[in-house]
């Protein structure tokens, strides 16, 4: 779902209205676009961010919440205006907000951090207190094992079926991992508004925390709208220094490492020769290796290491979408697939200051899974290093990722790998 269509540009422009009209975030004055993000995990409890949008900045930034069997707690936060002004905007005036709209985005982002959220019990919460939102239920944060759903390039217009399905499965997974190109907003504030309303309608972002990494459609005005709307991990100096899109976060028994391949200046898309690729800066590569070292030194038995980024590091197929109507279906598919493979090869062979490739770092520090998106096609590798695959250790008869709730998702058989040496790429 969420595939690019020929009419996407028209949809975006229609959603955004005239460039001279203001961007009204909200249907009324009450809270909307409620979302949950993990802030921190401890031995006995977790910290969680609750975010939402309101038209004015003077509403109380509070969340009233209670875990099952415990007294109600009130947590306080703050409201913030959208990121302001970029004089270098490619138009004859400066946007008051770093989103494409009618000069000013009429809305404020509210953020409240809930501390000491217990594991193992659901949490009921409501936001604001002047005409508060409905009461939501947060699935208990994962403490040991965890189940996640991974989505890439979900979109807004085409994503309703996907998010409706995810809403029906709430209660069976602990986090939503999104690999970028969430809404295809391309900087248009109203499309992001529609996206978060859609997610709230299906009870996805209000029920489980999101773990996110930006895509190329978030790379508008230095990721301003992405940074306004997605709140990940504590605001450490290192996190701020790397643009708030490189981070390490543990959720349950998985260490998630987010990499931003869209961050490098001039990083190419499909049409630039591979020799020009430089996805991570020297500083970012150093952060990646330091993070992997830290995880390995403190990693407990049964914990996984997963890397998320928008662009895949292995790719043998890509779809064309509306470009097939321009170039012809077969020629377009061949071109996109070739370019996709060149991009993936260049990414995994990129080197740090010591001459180690990214793929070698993943092998050395025993990364288990690497997730990518971008190409609107699905493929999964065997455990792989430099194109060589690890042999399976046996077979498993059946996998039921969501128990018996959805027979369509049952995998009848699959190869079994016991602590493989190589990462698996999805």
Distance CA 136, CA 5 (A): 34
Query: Which residue, among 103, 100, 50, has the nearest Cα to 79 in the 3D structure?
Result: 50
Which pLDDT value is given to residue 167?
Answer: 92
Which pLDDT value is given to residue 85?
Answer: 42
Length of the chain, in residues: 426
Which pLDDT value is given to residue 327?
Answer: 60
Distance CA 64, CA 70 (A): 13
Distance CA 213, CA 152 (A): 10
Contact 162, 151 (CB under 8 A): yes
Which pLDDT value is given to residue 271?
Answer: 40
Distance CA 234, CA 260 (A): 18
Query: Strand, helix or coil at 331?
Result: helix
Listed as ranges, residues in the chain with pLDDT below 50 are 1-21, 85-99, 102-103, 235-237, 265-274, 276
Query: Which residue, among 395, 397, 364, 369, has the nearest Cα to 383 in the 3D structure?
Result: 369
β-bridge mates for residue 103, sequence order: none
Evaluate the CA torsion angle 269, 275, 281, 286 in order and state its sign. positive
Which pLDDT value is given to residue 401?
Answer: 65
Contact 367, 308 (CB under 8 A): no
Contact 117, 50 (CB under 8 A): no
Distance CA 185, CA 221 (A): 12
Distance CA 212, CA 364 (A): 25
pLDDT tens-place string over residues 158-181: 778 889 999 998 888 889 999 999
């Amino acid at each position: 779902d969420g595939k690019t269509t020929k009419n996407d540009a028209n949809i975006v422009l229609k959603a955004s209205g005239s460039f001279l009209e203001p961007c009204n975030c909200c249907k009324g004055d009450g809270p909307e676009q409620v979302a949950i993000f993990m802030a921190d995990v401890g031995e006995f409890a977790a910290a969680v961010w609750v975010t939402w949008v309101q038209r004015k900045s003077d509403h109380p930034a509070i969340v009233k919440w209670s875990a099952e069997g415990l007294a109600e707690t009130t947590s306080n936060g703050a409201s913030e205006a959208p990121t302001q002004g970029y004089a270098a905007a490619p138009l004859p005036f400066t946007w008051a907000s770093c989103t494409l709209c009618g000069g000013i985005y009429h809305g404020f982002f509210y953020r409240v951090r809930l501390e000491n959220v217990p594991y193992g019990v659901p949490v009921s919460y409501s936001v604001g207190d002047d005409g508060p939102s409905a009461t939501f239920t947060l699935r208990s944060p994962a403490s040991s094992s965890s189940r996640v759903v991974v989505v890439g390039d979900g979109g807004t217009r085409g994503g309703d079926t996907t998010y409706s399905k995810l809403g029906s499965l709430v209660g069976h997974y602990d986090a939503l991992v999104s690999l970028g190109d969430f809404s295809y907003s391309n900087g248009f504030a109203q499309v992001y508004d529609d996206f978060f309303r859609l997610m709230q309608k299906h009870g996805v972002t209000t029920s489980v925390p999101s773990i996110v990494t930006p895509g190329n459609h978030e790379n508008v005005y230095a990721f301003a709208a992405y940074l306004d709307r997605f709140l990940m991990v504590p605001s450490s100096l290192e996190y701020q220094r790397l643009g708030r899109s490189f981070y390490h976060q543990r959720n349950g028994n998985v260490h998630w490492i987010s990499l931003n391949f869209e961050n490098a200046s001039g990083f190419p898309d499909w049409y630039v020769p591979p020799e020009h690729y430089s996805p991570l800066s020297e500083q970012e590569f150093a952060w990646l290796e330091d993070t992997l070292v830290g995880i390995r030194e403190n990693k407990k038995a049964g914990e996984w290491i997963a890397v998320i980024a928008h662009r895949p590091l292995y790719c043998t197929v890509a779809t064309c979408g509306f470009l097939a109507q321009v170039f012809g279906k077969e020629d377009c598919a061949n071109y996109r697939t070739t370019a996709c493979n060149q991009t993936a090869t260049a990414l995994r062979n990129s080197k740090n200051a010591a001459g180690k490739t990214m793929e070698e770092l993943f092998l050395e520090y025993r990364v288990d899974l690497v997730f990518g998106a971008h190409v609107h096609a699905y493929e999964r590798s065997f455990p792989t290093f430099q194109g060589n695959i690890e042999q399976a250790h046996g077979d498993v008869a059946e996998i039921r990722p969501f128990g018996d709730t959805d027979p369509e998702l049952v995998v009848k058989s699959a190869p079994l790998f016991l602590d493989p040496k190589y990462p698996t790429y999805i």
